[in-house]
Amino acid sequence: MLRFQSNHRPPWGGAKGGFGLNEKFKRFLHSPWIFLVGFVLILALVNLLGNSRSVQAQITYSEFLDMLDQNQVESVEVVEDQLIITPKSRGYGVPAYYTTTVVSNDALVGELRAAGVEFSASKPAQTFSIFDIVMSGASLLMMGIMIYWIVSLWRATRNKGENGKQSGIGGFGGFGFARSTAKQFDVQNCTTRFTDVAGQDEAKESLIEIVDILKNPAKYTSVGAEIPKGALLVGPPGTGKTLLAKAVAGEAGCPFFFVSGSAFVEMFVGTGAARVRDLFQQAAKKAPCIVFIDEIDAIGKKRDGTGLGGNDEREQTLNQLLAEMDGFDPEKGIIVLGATNRPEILDKALLRPGRFDRRIPVELPDMKGREEILKVHARKKTMAHGINLKRVADATPGASGADLANILNEAALAAVRDNRSAVTQADLDKATEFVLAGSEKKSMVISPEEKRIIAYHEIGHALVAMKQKDGAPVRKITIIPRTNGALGFTMQADEQEHVLMTKEDLTNRLQVLVAGRAAEELMFETCTSGAANDIERATAIARNMVSRFGMSDQVGLMALDTVVNQYLDGELRSNASQESAAMVEHEMKKLIQQAYDSAMKVLKENASTLNHLAEYLLIHENITGEEMMQLVEEEKHAGEPVLAGEFKIEE
Ligand code: ADP
Ligand code: MG
Ligand code: ZN
C-alpha cells in the first residue's frame, strides 16, 4: 500500500558551510573558545608553579623538637615567631625546608645550642621566596594578557560593526558571539515571488495584506485598525512556509531579516537573549521591515515551570522575544513572521493578541493545488509535449509541495540519465512511484511461491477496494519490490483527500487494508509477515475511530487519546484509565475483525475474479486501474469459478 515519508528539511537558512582556514581562525578568535583556552592555560601554569611549592612543609613544634633530637636539622632561621628549618637530608620528595610556629622562645636557644645547629633571625619582609615572586608576576602577566585580549577583540568587533551591516553591542555582546546571526535579505537579489508559490491562496492573501500594511500604515490607522505585530505560518513540513516567507521578502520591497529559531539557542547561556535583543535593534534601525523567524518552535516552546535548570536558556530567549515584541511601537513598522510545524507546543504567551496574533494556515495541497505546484516547477524544466501533470496530481494525495518538487526533479534526473533533453510522461510516472514508494528493486530474490502470495495479497486489496460502493478507485497494482522494503503495493486515488471522514469511509479503508491478509488466508490457508504494514495502519485507523472520533457505541463520545502533534506524525497520547484502555482495545479488535470478515466475504464471493487478476498480475507485474476494470469485465463473461490450487497460468 501507498506510504508517505516526508523527511523534508528546508534547504536554506542557518549558517553557511565551508569556511576557508583563515576565515575559520578569525572566527575562532572571535569566539568564546579563545577565553576557554586562555583560562585552561592559566590554570595549568598556576598548578605547575603551585606544585613546585611543595618543597615546603608545615610541621608542629614537637615534630621540630624531634628533628632536633634526631640531629636532622641543618640550620634554622627565626622570623618573629616562625621558624624556617632547613633539614640535613635532601632529595626528591623531601621538602627543601620546614616551617613551624615557636611555642616558647626561652628554651629554644638552649635547645639549638645543645643540638649544635646553626641559627639566625631576620625580619618578616625578607621571607618572600622566589616562588612568591614568580607566582605574583605570572598572575599579573596573565591578567594583562586577558585585558589585552578583551580590549583588542572588542575593538575588532566594533570596527567590523561600523564598516559592515551589523553593529557590535556593548558589554558581553561585544565579543561577537552574542550578535544575531540574522541575514538581512538583499531585496534586489531575492528573486522569489508570490507566483512561485502555487496554491496556498489564503496564505498568500494574508501575507499580501501584511506587506500592504507595512507599506501604507496610514491607510489602516486612519480607520482605527490596529496594526498586527506578527503572523505565524503553521502547517506540515514541506508545504511552502519558508518559500512563502522568501516570496514576501521578494515582494515587500523593504528590508527583510531571516533567522532560524535554532540560531538563538546555540552555544552559551545568555547569548540567545542577547541575540534576540540585537536582532530587534538592527530591525528598529531599518524599519519599516520584516523579521522572519523560521522554525520558531526551537525557542517558542512552552515554559514548563518545573524549575529544572536545563530550560533556563531557552526561557530567557523566549522572554526576551516576548519583551521585544511588546516593546516596539507597531507604527514604527516592524512585522514579525514566524513559521512552525508544531504550533501546539508553542507557549501561549507567544500566541496572544499583540504578538503572533494572526495564524496563517499553510496546509497540504489539494488536487488542484498539487497540479498548480507541479506546473510551477515544470516551468523550470524542459518537458516533452503533451505531458499530463493532472495524472501525477491525481496519484499523489497527501503529497506536500516539497514531495511534488521532488517528483519533478527525479523525473528530470531520469531524463538526463537516459541522455534525453526533455522529461517524458514515463519519467514522471516512474518518479511518482519512486517518491511514493521507493524505487523499483528488480534484483531482490523472490521465489515463485512468494511471488504468487504477494500477487494474491495485492489483488485482495484491489478487489475489495473495487467492490466497495463508494470506495476510492484503484490506480495501480504492482508486485515489483521497492527499495523501501515494500514487496508490492496497491495505489488508490484520493486517500486522505476528504476534509471529513465518515464512519463508512473509515470502515471501507479498514476493509481494504485487511483484505491483503484475507486473500492470503483464503487462497493459501496460511498467513505471512507481509501484512505487517497493513495491520499497523489498520490498527491506527481503528484506534482513532474508537478513542478520538467517538465511533464506537461501547466507548461513546470520549476523547481517550489526544494528538500530540497534528502536523508531524499524528502520534497519539492516551488519557485513558486502565479499564478504558482495555475497552478501547476490545472495540478496536471488534472493528478490525468485522472489517476482516466483510473483506473475506467479498473475496470468497469473487474468488474467480481474484484468481484471474492475480494470475494476470503474476505475469505482467503491473496492472493499471483501467486494465483491472477490463479484466473484471472479461472475467464476468468467462464465468466458472476456479478453486484454489487449480489455477494455471494462462497466456
Ligand atoms: P516548509 O518551510 O513549509 O517546510 P518549504 O517552504 O521549505 O517548506 O518548501 C520546500 C520546497 O517545496 C520549496 O522550496 C518548493 O520547491 C517546494 N514547495 C512547497 N510548497 C510549494 C508551493 N505551494 N508551491 C511551489 N513550490 C512549493
Ligand atoms: Mg521551512
Ligand atoms: Zn498489503
pLDDT exceeds cutoff 70 at 165: no
The domain tally of the chain equals 4
Whether 149 is covered by a domain: the verdict is no
Instruction: Yes or no: say if 195 and 243 are a contact pair by the CB < 8 Å rule.
Output: no
Q: What pLDDT is recorded for position 496?
A: 54
Average pLDDT, rounded, for the chain? 78
pLDDT exceeds cutoff 70 at 638: no
Whether 545 is covered by a domain: the verdict is yes
The rounded Å distance from CA 304 to ligand 1 centre is 32
CATH number at residue 541: 1.20.58.760
For residues 431 and 468, state if they share a domain.
no
CATH number at residue 63: 3.30.720.210
Whether 316 is covered by a domain: the verdict is yes
Smallest-distance ligand from the CA of 531: 3
Quick: pLDDT tens for 88-141: 877 766 777 888 887 766 677 777 777 777 777 776 655 557 777 888 888 888
**Catalytic positions, written as ranges:** 458
Grade residue 166 by pLDDT with cuts at 50, 70 and 90: very low
Q: In sequence order, what are the beta bridge partners of 56? A: 97
Residues lining ligand 3 (ion), CB within 5 A?
516, 534
From CA 477, how far away is CA 462, in angstroms rounded? Answer: 7
For residues 334 and 396, state if they share a domain.
no
Q: Report residues whose beta carbon is within 6 angstroms of any ligand 1 atom.
A: 8, 10, 197-200, 237-243, 339, 373, 376, 401-402, 405
Quick: pLDDT tens for 226-263: 778 889 999 888 999 999 988 888 888 788 888 888 88
Tell me the whole-structure pTM to 2 decimals. 0.59
pLDDT exceeds cutoff 80 at 75: yes
3-state secondary structure of 474: strand
What spatial distance separates the first Cα and last Cα of the chain, rounded to whole Å?
A: 28
Q: What pLDDT is recorded for position 50?
A: 57
For residues 100 and 185, state if they share a domain.
no
The rounded Å distance from CA 240 to ligand 2 centre is 7
Grade residue 162 by pLDDT with cuts at 50, 70 and 90: very low
Whether 162 is covered by a domain: the verdict is no
Quick: pLDDT tens for 453-467: 999 999 999 999 999
Give 5's contacts (C-beta < 8 A, 6+ positions apart). Answer: 484
Instruction: Yes or no: say if 183 and 257 are a contact pair by the CB < 8 Å rule.
Output: yes
> In terms of pLDDT, which residue wins out, 275 or 612?
612
From CA 4, how far away is CA 26, in angstroms rounded? Answer: 45
Most ligand 1 atoms within 8 A of CB, residue of 201, 239, 242, 243 to mutate? 243
Q: Looking at 361, 391, 426, which one is the last position of a domain?
A: 361
Q: What pLDDT is recorded for position 28?
A: 59
Q: What is the 3-state secondary structure (H, E, C) of 74-97?
A: EEEEEECCEEEEEECCCCCCCCCE
Quick: pLDDT tens for 248-307: 888 887 888 888 888 877 655 567 788 888 888 888 888 788 889 998 888 877 766 555
**Helix boundaries (H) for 128-255:** 130-163, 201-215, 217-221, 241-252
CATH number at residue 388: 1.10.8.60
pLDDT exceeds cutoff 70 at 606: yes
Largest CA distance in the chain: 135
pLDDT exceeds cutoff 90 at 518: yes
For residues 336 and 402, state if they share a domain.
no
Relative to the CA of 12, which ligand 1 atom is closest? Answer: 7
Among 234, 230, 227, 225, residue whose Cα is nearest residue 203: 234
Sequence letter at residue 608: S
Quick: pLDDT tens for 613-626: 999 998 888 888 88
Smallest-distance ligand from the CA of 454: 3
Q: What pLDDT is recorded for position 112?
A: 76
Q: What pLDDT is recorded for position 365?
A: 86
Q: What pLDDT is recorded for position 645?
A: 44
Q: What pLDDT is recorded for position 377?
A: 92
For residues 323 and 381, state if they share a domain.
no
pLDDT exceeds cutoff 70 at 334: yes
Whether 201 is covered by a domain: the verdict is yes
Instruction: Yes or no: say if 337 and 233 are a contact pair by the CB < 8 Å rule.
Output: yes
The rounded Å distance from CA 603 to ligand 3 centre is 15
C-alpha cell at 301: 516552546
pLDDT exceeds cutoff 50 at 647: no
Q: What is the DSSP string of 91-135?
A: STTS-SEEEEE-S-HHHHHHHHHHHT-EEEEE-GGGG--HHHHHH
Q: What pLDDT is recorded for position 218?
A: 83
For residues 574 and 629, state if they share a domain.
yes
Handedness of CA 339, 343, 348, 352 (dihedral sign): positive
For residues 356 and 373, state if they share a domain.
no
Among 315, 302, 602, residue whose Cα is nearest residue 465: 602
From CA 466, how far away is CA 628, in angstroms rounded? Answer: 9
For residues 520 and 416, state if they share a domain.
no
For residues 356 and 414, state if they share a domain.
no
Three-point CA angle 34, 40, 43, nearest 5°: 140
Q: What pLDDT is recorded for position 260?
A: 85
pLDDT exceeds cutoff 70 at 215: yes
Whether 169 is covered by a domain: the verdict is no
Domain of 244 in residue numbering reads as: 179-361
Give 165's contacts (C-beta < 8 A, 6+ positions apart). Answer: 184, 282
Whether 163 is covered by a domain: the verdict is no
Quick: pLDDT tens for 4-60: 333 333 333 333 333 444 555 655 555 666 667 777 777 777 666 655 545 678 888
The rounded Å distance from CA 436 to ligand 3 centre is 15
For residues 393 and 340, state if they share a domain.
no
pLDDT exceeds cutoff 80 at 343: yes
Percent of all residues in the chain with a pLDDT value above 70, rounded to a whole number: 77
The rounded Å distance from CA 566 to ligand 2 centre is 16
Grade residue 159 by pLDDT with cuts at 50, 70 and 90: very low
Instruction: Yes or no: say if 297 and 346 are a contact pair by the CB < 8 Å rule.
Output: yes
Q: What pLDDT is recorded for position 325?
A: 84
Relative to the CA of 365, which ligand 1 atom is closest? Answer: 23
Q: What pLDDT is recorded for position 154?
A: 65
**Helix boundaries (H) for 296-447:** 297-300, 312-327, 348-351, 367-378, 389-395, 401-417, 425-437
Most ligand 1 atoms within 8 A of CB, residue of 195, 232, 239 to mutate? 239
For residues 416 and 495, state if they share a domain.
no
For residues 615 and 540, state if they share a domain.
yes
Burial of 20 (0-12, 13-18, 19+ CB in 10 A): exposed
Q: What pLDDT is recorded for position 267?
A: 53
Grade residue 644 by pLDDT with cuts at 50, 70 and 90: very low
